[in-house]
DNA sequence: AAATGAAACAACCGCATGTAC
DNA sequence: TGTACATGCGGTTGTTTCATT
């Protein structure tokens, strides 16, 4: 039995009523207490942490506070472009499985990703006056946003890219993958980016298919894709999208969003997952 | 400067799952 | 095998911050 364990094998925990449990925002003092306790004894056994640290909190509350806020690895602040792309992709595959998505975004918590999705993506769906799970929203993403984005990926890939992984290395990496690819200049773009978001991939069968973050400013009918005859560009789309005035994160441009580094990063993450 | 509404973030709750006994 | 407890997850709600009028 280790030191930690010996600390915790003890009396039955008092009920919440008996404990006079504190709720609501954590104070700085509570944070320090929890941090110090976990630093000494390690994570886990949260009910014991709550009891022995002197915090009048539940084990659940301690765990949540530690995982979402106090953990040293936690990254706070703006979700980067790469992360936005990953969230979009992974959510299209797994639906609202936030913790699973979070595993692919080091330092980000499921709670943060969930909040991001709710506040940003669902907002966009609201602007479109449709549900994020609706066909209209998926179609908008599938036939308008994504193609436009990919077109921009292609465009940006042809510009100098500094210290990024080379396009050649990237092509080598994906050439072994059994995927359909579209060549745009020196970079190949995987058409699975499209099919995943269409909700037809096998992985998405058990997941609720949802859609895209602030992937806007995307309407500009890309010529690189074949649209189904039945799909009318612009049908039911908001004027912001149709006019290309739907801004990203308060003005961030699509150009900056889709550079070669982002594509490299995104693809790496996805293929690693596919083959794990 | 104050009021109001929207957006972002933090935390709680209930349920599901895992594990030890 | 059944039970109790701990932990993890996703949905929801409460609170704070920021922008607009």
Across all strands, nucleotide nearest A96 (CA–C1')? C10
Is the CB of A47 less than 7 A from some atom of nucleic acid strand C?
Answer: yes
The answer to whether residue A76 sits within a structural domain is: no
Q: Which nucleotides of C are covered by protein (CB under 7 A)?
A: 5-13, 15-16
Q: Does A18 lie in the same domain as A124?
A: no
A14 and A131 share one domain:
no
The better pLDDT of the pair A22, A178 is held by A22
Is the C-beta of residue A225 closer than 7 Å to nucleic acid chain B? no
**Residue A231 and residue A157 share a domain:** yes
Q: Assess whether A166 and A97 both reside in one domain.
A: yes
pLDDT at A274: 44
What is the pLDDT, as a whole number, of residue A96? Answer: 82
- A106 and A189 together in one domain: yes
pLDDT at A146 over 70: no
Q: What is the DSSP letter of A227?
A: P
A144 lies in the same domain as A50:
no
- Tell me if A75 is assigned to some domain: no
- Per-residue model confidence (pLDDT) at position A147: 61
Contact assessment for residue A54 and residue A69, using Cβ atoms and an 8 Å cutoff: no
The answer to whether A107 and A74 are in contact (CB under 8 A) is: yes
pLDDT band at A189 (very low <50, low <70, confident <90, very high): very low
Alpha-carbon gap, residue A179 to A213, rounded angstroms: 25
Closest CA to A155 of A259, A262, A266, A248: A259
pLDDT greater than 80 at residue A124: no
Task: State which residues form the domain around A260.
Answer: 81-274
- Is residue A217 assigned to a domain? yes
Is A37 a member of any domain? yes
CATH code at A48?
1.10.10.60
Task: State which residues between 59 and 88 of chain A bring their CB within 7 Å of strand C.
Answer: 59-60, 63
Residue A207 shares a structural domain with residue A232: yes
Q: Which nucleotides of B are covered by protein (CB under 7 A)?
A: 7-14
A143 lies in some domain: yes
Domain boundary among the residues A11, A39, A70 is at A70
Q: Which residue's C-alpha is at the least distance from the C1' of B13? A: A60
**Judgement on whether residues A36 and A156 belong to the same structural domain of the protein:** no
- The reported pLDDT for the residue numbered A117 is 83
Judgement on whether residues A241 and A206 belong to the same structural domain of the protein: yes
User: Which one of A70, A105, A120 terminates a domain?
Assistant: A70
Strand C near-CB residues (< 7 Å), A 189-218: none
Q: Is the C-beta of residue A115 closer than 7 Å to nucleic acid chain B?
A: yes
Average pLDDT of the residues in A85-102: 81
- CB burial of A59-82 (b: ≥16 within 10 Å; e: otherwise) equals bebbbbbbbeebeeeeeeeebebb
Helix pair angle (A81-94, A260-274), 10° resolution: 30
- What is the percent of chain A with per-residue pLDDT over 70, rounded to a whole number? 38
Residues in A 95-114 whose C-beta is less than 7 A from nucleic strand C are 96-100, 110-111, 114
Is residue A55 domain-shared with residue A114, that is, in the same domain? no
Q: Model confidence at A141, in pLDDT bands (50, 70, 90)?
A: low
**Residue A100: pLDDT over 80:** yes
Final residue before a domain boundary, out of A70, A99, A116: A70
Closest residue (Cα, C1') to C16: A25
For chain A, the domain total comes to: 2
**What mean pLDDT is predicted for residues A22-39?**
87
Average pLDDT, chain A: 59
pLDDT number for residue A91: 80
């Amino acid at each position: 039995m280790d030191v930690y364990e010996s600390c915790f094998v003890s009396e039955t925990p008092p009920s919440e009523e008996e404990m006079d449990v504190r709720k609501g925002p954590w104070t700085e003092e509570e944070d320090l207490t929890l941090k110090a306790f976990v630093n000494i004894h390690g994570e886990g056994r949260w009910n014991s942490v709550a009891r022995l640290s002197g915090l009048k909190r539940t084990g659940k509350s301690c765990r949540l506070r530690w995982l979402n806020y106090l953990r040293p690895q936690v990254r706070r602040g703006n979700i980067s472009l790469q992360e936005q792309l990953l969230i979009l992709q992974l959510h299209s595959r797994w639906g609202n499985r936030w913790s699973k998505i979070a595993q692919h975004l080091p330092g980000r918590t499921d709670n943060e990703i969930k909040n991001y999705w709710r506040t940003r993506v669902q907002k966009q769906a609201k602007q479109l006056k449709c549900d994020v799970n609706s066909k209209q929203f998926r179609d908008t993403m599938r036939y308008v946003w994504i193609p436009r984005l990919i077109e921009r990926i292609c465009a940006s890939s042809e510009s100098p890219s500094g210290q990024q992984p080379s396009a050649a290395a990237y092509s080598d990496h994906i050439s072994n993958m059994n995927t359909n690819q579209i060549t745009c200049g020196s970079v190949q773009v995987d058409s699975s980016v499209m099919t995943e978001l269409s909700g037809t991939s096998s992985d998405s069968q058990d997941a609720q298919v949802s859609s895209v973050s602030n992937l806007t400013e995307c309407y500009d009918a890309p010529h690189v894709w074949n649209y189904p005859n039945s799909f009318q560009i612009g049908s039911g789309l908001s004027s912001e999208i149709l006019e290309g005035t739907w801004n990203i994160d308060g003005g961030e441009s699509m150009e900056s969003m889709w550079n070669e580094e982002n594509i490299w990063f995104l693809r790496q993450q996805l293929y690693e997952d596919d083959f794990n």
